[in-house]
Amino acid sequence: MKQFNQTSQKIMLAIQITKASLLICFFFILWYLLYEQNKLFLTGEQANNTETLTEVHLSSPSTLSSNITLNTINNNDSIENPLNELKELNKRYCGNPTCKFLFVYNFGEQETKANLHFRSFSQLAEKLNRTMILTNVGSSQISVCQNFSFNLYYNVTLLKKEFPNVLYKSEDDFILWLKERDQIKNKLNNINNNEVIPPLSILHSNLRRYDITSETIYRNVKPVVSLSECLSKFGPFMNLTDPNNSRVKYTIMDITKFDLKTEQSRAKFSKLLIDDLSVNEEILLVNSYVLDPLFPVIMPVIPYNDYILNEAQKLKEKLSSSYIGIHWRLEQSRPELLPECAQGLIITLNKIMKEEGIENIYLATDYPLLSSSSQSDTFTKITNYHHDAIRMLNETFKINTWVSLGGLEQLRKNEKYDTEFIGPGIQGILDKLVCVNSNYFIAGPKGCSRILSTFTKAIADERSNRLDSGLLNVIDRWKIPL
């Protein structure tokens, strides 16, 4: 009986504990339901506030928080992101949050001189801390009007080693920068409904050697309406006539020939040039015709593309590595004197071949080889005297040229480069390299040839640096027989 009572008490105690537990659970569930209902009510009220903010300030409610202060921060972020995009764009292209370009869109002369000028402006880009555009090439020029990228002629990798402190970008890179900048500008200005990123800031400067002036003058000028039409290929992202797209200032520098003649005068001039062109504009756009170096130190020739160097080596091997190189630039010769000029060249060649034991001849000339057009833009009047002189030479010797030896065959088979071989072009660089490597080198005398030829001088200068490699001379000029 006693055991039964103890069992009953345990059961009653368990029932009481269970009732207490159920009661606690009930109140806990009731409290939870009331809390959630209140939470839902508050969230709905805040959502109503969010919709009002969206209508006034933002375009997408998905970016909003339930906190009003955070809404303001997110609103600012949505505006500042394009600014950050612009900085990142500039860092990607220029290595700095702000891009500053030097774009010399026309170098004014054929490749040999243009090569010299490009080096001078690379020095300027370094002094101004500007990214330099690798202007297109073609037809023996460095110009925005040409169709081929800079590396058709030149080795950009070696150029960068020559100027390690200059950042170079191609015309295609420049177009991409213009396009992306324009997209970011439109995005930010539309979001803010105000102009935040301004139009492109451009300084257009025309640099020219002006021989009639007694001192170098740099001045502002009115807008230049006769700019190269080829600049239009950068539109609509760079439009020089639309003030909403580009804000352009125009200047001109007339440079005396005396300021560029000596190392001392160039040292003085270059300081003036750097001071005048140290500006804040994003783009320094330059049309150049200066003829001479701009800085006291003249940098080495821009290295040529490996393809051209390999072609020069192939031609040298076809000439059995022993040959006389001739540069006969017929432009500015006296046509009626050309038969005597040809006779003098024949006498000179016979003498050299006999004395030096050289059997092969290579001719570099502006005379037409592939078409009726000469290989110089400025040599247009070709007479029977010119034809007769070349005929006399061919009838006496086997005359090799880049055409007869199959030079640049790969490019010549590609229709893309057809225009490059009508007139001056990449073949001029090949001629120069083959003549530099010749065992003996001769050029025309006064009356028979253009004496003040930068092309001829460049060959002679390079040969003077290679005399210890077995060359027989630097340069000789044949004589007209009396």
Distances, alpha carbon 76 to alpha carbons 23, 39, 46, 47, 52, in Å: 52, 29, 21, 20, 17
Cα distance between residue 439 and residue 1, in whole Å: 136
> How far apart are the C-alpha atoms of 461 and 467, rounded to whole Å?
11
**3-state DSSP helix/strand/coil percent for the chain, to nearest 5?**
50, 15, 35
Please list, in sequence order, all residues whose beta carbon lies within 8 angstroms of the beta carbon of residue 300, skipping any fewer than 6 positions away: 119, 162
Helix (H, G, I), strand (E, B) or coil at 288: strand
Residue 81, token pair as written in the block: 């992101």
Per DSSP, the three-state class of 424 is coil
CA distance 482 to 184: 74
Between CA 279 and CA 128 the distance in angstroms is 9
The encoded tokens of residue 261 equal: 């003649």
Q: What angle do CA 338, 341, 345 make, to 5 degrees?
A: 140
Question: What's the pLDDT score for residue 325?
Answer: 98
- Cα separation, 55 vs 285, whole angstroms: 45
Q: With contact defined as beta carbons under 8 Å apart, do 209 and 173 qualify?
A: no
Report, as ranges of residue numbers, the positions in the chain whose pLDDT lies below 50: 1-7, 10-11, 33-79
Residue 110 — φ and ψ, nearest 5°?
-75, 175
Distances (CA, A) of 79 to 73, 86, 125: 10, 12, 34
Q: What is the pLDDT of residue 266?
A: 97
Report pLDDT for 47. 34
Instruction: Give the model's pLDDT for residue 225.
Output: 75
Name the nearest CA neighbour of 286 among 250, 315, 311. 250
Residues 55, 61 contacting (CB under 8 angstroms): no
CA 458 – CA 301 distance, rounded (Å) = 9
Q: Per the omega criterion (within 30 degrees of 0), is the bond before 335 cis? A: no
Into which CATH architecture does domain 101-289 fall? 3-Layer(aba) Sandwich (3.40)
Query: Can you point out the beta strands (E) in 349-423?
Result: 360-365
CATH topology (fold) of 306-477: Rossmann fold (3.40.50)
Q: Tell me the residue ranges of DSSP E strands in 337-408.
A: 360-365
C-alpha–C-alpha distance, residues 378 and 375, integer Å:
9
Using alpha carbons only, how large is the chain's radius of gyration in Å? 38
For residue 171, what are its two tokens?
Answer: 């015309």
Residue 35: the pLDDT is 47
pLDDT reported for residue 48 = 36
Q: Give me the residues paired with residue 252 across strands.
A: 206, 219
Quote the tokens at residue 139.
């037809």
- Token code pair at residue 54: 């969206």
Say how far apart CA 177 and CA 199 lie, in whole Å: 14
Q: Measured between alpha carbons, how far is residue 67 from residues 47, 255, 352 in Å?
A: 10, 65, 94
